[in-house]
Amino acid sequence: MSDTGFRPAHGEADWYDEKLPRAIRSHRGNPFRTIATVTLVVVLASLLGISSAYLIIEREQPLNAVTLGPWHAYPKAGTSEADPYSVAIYTRGAVIPLASGEGLALVAREDSNGHELDPTCVYSIAGQTPSARLWTLTAVDGHGHLVKTMSGRVNLASDALLRNADGTFDITAATRPHSGNWLPLASEARAADGLRFVLRVYDAPVTTGAALDGVSMPTIERLGCP
Amino acid sequence: MTLSSRFSLSVGLLATLCLAAIIHILVVLSIPHNVLHSAYDNIETYGPDRQFNLLPDVRPGEEALPDLDPAMKHAACRFQLADGPVLFDASIPAPFWSIGLFNAAGEAVYSLNNRTAGAERLSMLVLTTEQLSILRENPPENLEDLIVIETEEPLSGFALLRAYVPHPNRADSIDRALKAASCGSIR
Query: A94 contacts in B (CB within 8 Å)?
Result: 35, 37-39, 41-42, 65-66, 106
At residue A30, the pLDDT reads: 82
Residues of chain B with pLDDT under 70: 1-3, 187
The predicted-structure confidence for B142-173, as pLDDT tens digits, reads as follows 888 888 999 988 889 999 999 999 998 999 99
Amino acid at B59: R
- In terms of CA atoms, which chain B residue is nearest residue A136? B71
Query: B113 contacts in A (CB within 8 Å)?
Result: 101-103, 202-203
| Contact status of A7 with chain B (Cβ, < 8 Å) | no
Distance separating alpha carbons of residues A199 and A49, to the nearest angstrom = 34
Inform me whether the pLDDT recorded for A157 exceeds 90: yes
Q: Is residue B155 within 8 Å of residue B133, measured between CB atoms?
A: no
B60 to A37: CB separation less than 8 angstroms, yes or no: no
At residue A10, the pLDDT reads: 54
A94 to B42: CB separation less than 8 angstroms, yes or no: yes
Inform me whether the pLDDT recorded for A5 exceeds 70: no
At residue B140, the pLDDT reads: 80
The CATH code of the domain that includes B169 is 2.60.40
Nearest to B94 by CA among B112, B109, B75, B73: B73
Same domain for B13 and B91, yes or no, is no
Inform me whether the pLDDT recorded for A50 exceeds 60: yes
Same domain for B58 and B141, yes or no, is yes
At residue A170, the pLDDT reads: 94
Q: What is the per-residue DSSP string for B46-112?
A: TS-SSS-EEPPP--TT--SSTT--TTEEEEEEEEEGGG--EEEEEE--SS-EEEEEEETT--EEEEE
- What's the pTM? 0.84
Same domain for B123 and B157, yes or no, is yes
Same domain for B16 and B44, yes or no, is no
Same domain for B14 and B47, yes or no, is no
Exposure of B161 by Cβ count < 10 A (0-12 exposed, 13-18 middle, 19+ buried)?
A: buried
Inform me whether the pLDDT recorded for A210 exceeds 70: no
Comparing CB atoms, the residue among B19, B24, B70 nearest residue A41 is: B19
At residue A57, the pLDDT reads: 87
Cβ pairs bridging A and B (under 8 Å):
191
At residue B185, the pLDDT reads: 84
Exposure of B66 by Cβ count < 10 A (0-12 exposed, 13-18 middle, 19+ buried)?
A: middle
Residue B12: CB atoms within 10 A of its CB come to 15
Comparing CB atoms, the residue among B24, B59, B99 nearest residue A146 is: B59
Same domain for B60 and B28, yes or no, is no
- In terms of CA atoms, which chain A residue is nearest residue B60? A146
How, if at all, do strands A122-127 and B121-128 pair?
unpaired
Inform me whether the pLDDT recorded for A12 exceeds 60: no
Same domain for B20 and B85, yes or no, is no
Domains and CATH numbers, chain A: 1-58 (no CATH), 63-84+98-224 (2.60.120.600)
Inform me whether the pLDDT recorded for A211 exceeds 70: no
The predicted-structure confidence for A67-93, as pLDDT tens digits, reads as follows 888 999 888 888 888 888 888 888 888
Comparing CB atoms, the residue among B35, B61, B69 nearest residue A136 is: B69
Rg (CA), chain B: 23
Same domain for B17 and B67, yes or no, is no
Inform me whether the pLDDT recorded for A142 exceeds 80: yes
Distances (CA, A) of B166 to A22, A89, A189, B51, B173: 81, 32, 28, 25, 12
Range of the domain at B8: 1-34
| Contact status of B164 with chain A (Cβ, < 8 Å) | yes
- In terms of CA atoms, which chain B residue is nearest residue A43? B16
Q: How far is A104 from chain B (nearest CA, A)?
A: 12
Same domain for B108 and B145, yes or no, is yes
Query: A79 contacts in B (CB within 8 Å)?
Result: 107-108
Q: How far is B90 from chain A (nearest CA, A)?
A: 16
Residue A6: CB atoms within 10 A of its CB come to 9
At residue A19, the pLDDT reads: 67
At residue A22, the pLDDT reads: 66
> What's the average model confidence in pLDDT over A108-134?
92
> What's the average model confidence in pLDDT over A149-168?
90
At residue A190, the pLDDT reads: 85
Number of domains in chain B: 2
Proportion of chain A above pLDDT 70, given as a percent: 85
Inform me whether the pLDDT recorded for A24 exceeds 90: no
Query: B70 contacts in A (CB within 8 Å)?
Result: 136, 138, 146, 154-155
| Contact status of A134 with chain B (Cβ, < 8 Å) | yes
Inform me whether the pLDDT recorded for A54 exceeds 50: yes
Same domain for B30 and B109, yes or no, is no
| Contact status of B160 with chain A (Cβ, < 8 Å) | yes
At residue A2, the pLDDT reads: 46
Same domain for B17 and B71, yes or no, is no
A23 to B1: CB separation less than 8 angstroms, yes or no: yes
Same domain for B117 and B156, yes or no, is yes
At residue B146, the pLDDT reads: 87
Distances (CA, A) of B9 to A39, A173, A208: 15, 54, 53
At residue B35, the pLDDT reads: 83
At residue B7, the pLDDT reads: 86
- In terms of CA atoms, which chain B residue is nearest residue A185? B60
> What's the average model confidence in pLDDT over A8-28?
61
Comparing CB atoms, the residue among B21, B38, B96 nearest residue A133 is: B96
